[in-house]
């Protein structure tokens, strides 16, 4: 039997027989051409629920604490104006069924809390700023 498996934009064609498997062919997927719009665009669509937050500018001199991976915020342990020391727990992030604790990289005062409990964040999203 021959199977086609796609991994990282490469298609592997594998022939499987009783007790062994042989790679038959490997091909790279071609990027699909962008569709050409022939009709006017429809009216504005409703917003998707739980969309990730837009990028937020960080004030000069402030330190942004970013999400190291995509995930869901389980808890925010600090509030705006709170004094924190280096190593204090700021946020608990769930990623791949694991709870990841995000700690303060420096001492200072929490200038902004840019996320909320239950929010979905991407890698590099600003969670907290410390000044």
Q: Are residues 26 and 72 in the same domain?
A: no
Q: State the first-to-last Cα distance of the chain, in angstroms, to the nearest integer.
A: 62
Query: Tokens at residue 7, please?
Result: 């991994």
H or E stretch including 53?
Answer: none
* Alpha carbons 112 and 129: distance in angstroms, whole number: 5
Establish if 84 belongs to a structural domain.
yes
Q: Are residues 68 and 112 in the same domain?
A: yes
Establish if 48 belongs to a structural domain.
no
Establish if 38 belongs to a structural domain.
no
Could you give the number of structural domains in the chain? 2
Q: What is the pLDDT of residue 42?
A: 59
* Mean of pLDDT over the chain: 79
Q: Render pLDDT for 89-123 as a digit per residue (tens, 0 to 9).
A: 999 999 988 999 999 999 999 999 999 999 999 99
Establish if 40 belongs to a structural domain.
no
- pTM assigned to the model: 0.56
Taking each continuous run of H as one helix and of E as one strand, the counts in the chain are 0, 11
* Alpha carbons 13 and 24: distance in angstroms, whole number: 5
Q: How confident is the model at residue 38 (pLDDT cuts 50, 70, 90)?
A: low
Is the per-residue pLDDT at 54 higher than 60? no
The percentage of residues in the chain with a pLDDT greater than 70, rounded to a whole number, is 67
Establish if 51 belongs to a structural domain.
no
Domain that holds residue 26: 1-30
Q: Are residues 123 and 68 in the same domain?
A: yes
């Amino acid at each position: 039997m021959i199977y086609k498996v796609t991994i990282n934009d490469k298609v592997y064609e594998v022939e499987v027989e009783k007790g062994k498997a042989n790679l038959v062919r490997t091909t790279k997927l071609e990027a699909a051409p962008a569709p050409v719009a022939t009709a006017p665009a429809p009216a504005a669509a409703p917003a998707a629920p739980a969309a990730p937050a837009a990028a937020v500018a960080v004030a000069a001199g402030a330190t942004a604490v970013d999400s190291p991976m995509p995930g869901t915020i389980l808890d925010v342990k600090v509030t705006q104006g709170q004094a924190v020391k280096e190593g204090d727990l700021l946020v608990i992030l769930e990623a791949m069924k694991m709870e990841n604790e995000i700690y303060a990289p420096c001492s200072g005062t929490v200038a902004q809390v840019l996320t909320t409990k239950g929010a979905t964040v991407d890698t590099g999203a600003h969670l907290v700023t410390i000044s």
